[in-house]
Amino acid sequence: MTDHSSPPPRKALWGVLAQRDFRLLWLSNAVTGLAKGVTGVVLPLIALLNLSASPFEVGLLAAAVWLPWLVIGLPAGAWVDSKSRRPIMIACHAIAAVLFASIPVAWWLDILTYGHLLVIALLTGTTTVLFQTAYNVYLPTVLPKEDLIEGNAKLQGAEAATRIAGPALGGGLVTALGAATGLLIEVLSCLFCLVCILLIRSREPARAKQVNKEPFTRQIAIGLRFVVKDPYLRPIITYGAVVNLGLTGYTTIQIVFLVQSVGVDASIVGALVAVAGLGGILGSLIARPLGRRFGTARSVVVCQLATGPFALVSPLTTPGAGLIFYCVGTCMLIAGIVSCNVVLGSFRQAYCPPVLLGRVVATSMFVLHSTIPVGALLAGVLGDTVGPRATMWIMAALIAPCGLILLLSPMRRRRDLPSEPATAPHPVHAAG
């Protein structure tokens, strides 16, 4: 007879966090999320308060962070596949620390310029592309296959939580230390994460010299063709691209809107962004229950149709009690988008043939990220021409009806999303 009286093993209590190497990776990811939340507030405030940047220049700065995804996103995947990932991750953190440190140093020396900020945004955006690509490939080295779902859930949960605290911390740092000096938190986080990755003992297994003999351009074409022809992936990617366009413009102009149009003090901006960001946690919590209760396809469509129009509430924000419009509108909007992302991201992983999953993910990310710099630039141009509040209205009007893209897709006829494509993809030849 099996003895059930013994206490559960440590892993049952702590899950994958009981594993030392994963704990280090989880900790570095949490700190990275905190620092990114800080930087998302501090960097535009440096441009606004220290360099008197215009709304267009703030938008251009936001676009520069995302532009590398559009330029090197697909080639980065092939390059990372040919290298050891851990050294790439270490190098990216080291380079980012130096780049971010140059901003407060330049400010102290009274030589900081907008051009300096723009270059740093482009270069750190490039390190982010390479790091994120290597990071996603490296995780299976740290965790066995059966623990990947739990590990990814814990990583995303920690990052979402720390990104809530980051904006509030960023606003406080600007008040206490000044905008440029407040960026030192990003430098310290890069160094901390670098040490965490150095302490990881897991090493990647030796890789085959050639995984696929097909030309790189053909490999990309196969993934792109699968996405374009699939009746579910095509509208999902279209929805994501349009939402990213509007949401990036919305988040790019929101700080300018709150500071210049509403008259919010810089120390409060971070707290407002953090409160609104609670929608991300709400969305991650409701996604699974809604999918079980109403079906994955139905819950996504209804959730988007219900929460998208809340984007139109935020432009009503006024000083004092009127700040509730920003908090409620943005919170509900983000909750709906995150809930949708949780379901659709899981659907993509289960739906796509394993042999094509990497390329489908790369193609999806390329398309989704391509509209982000466009949205940031558009918000900057509109902010200069029609003003921050009018720009908020335009971006909100773009986001509000996006659920119709999903409603007009085959998802409207299903309770749950399918688990596999209706037709098999073209065969992919691997090296013998």
If asked whether residues 184 and 234 sit together in one domain, one would say no
Which tens digits make up the pLDDT trace of 247-299? 989 988 888 899 888 888 877 877 787 776 678 778 777 777 887 788 888 98
Residue 102 CA to residue 356 CA, distance in Å, equals 41
d(CA 73, CA 311): 29
Looking at per-residue pLDDT, the higher value among 400 and 137 belongs to 400
Residues 198 and 297 both lie in one domain: no
Domain that holds residue 242: 224-422
Q: pLDDT, tens digit, for every residue of 81-132?
A: 667 788 999 999 999 999 999 988 998 898 989 999 999 999 998 998 888 8
Span between the terminal Cα atoms of the chain, in Å:
49
Crossing angle (nearest 10°) for helices 266-276 and 148-177 = 160
Report the number of distinct structural domains present in the chain: 2
Query: Is 4 inside a domain boundary?
Result: no
| Same domain membership, residue 198 and residue 258 | no
Residues 365 and 373: their CA atoms lie apart, in Å, by 13
H or E segment to which residue 359 belongs: helix 354-385
In a domain, 278, yes or no: yes
DSSP letters, 188-204, are: HHHHHHHHHHHH----P
CA distances from 58 to 20, 103, 215, 222 (A): 41, 16, 40, 37
pLDDT at 26 over 50: yes
Q: Are residues 38 and 185 in the same domain?
A: yes
For the cut 70, the answer to whether the pLDDT of residue 212 exceeds it is no
Q: What is the pTM (predicted TM-score) of this model? A: 0.69
In three-state form (DSSP H/G/I as H, E/B as E, the rest C), the secondary structure along 376-409 is HHHHHHHHHHCCHHHHHHHHHHHHCCCHHHHHCC
Say how far apart CA 420 and CA 302 lie, in whole Å.
23
Is 193 found in the same domain as 253?
Answer: no
CATH number of the domain that residue 120 is part of: 1.20.1250.20
Same domain, 20 and 135: yes
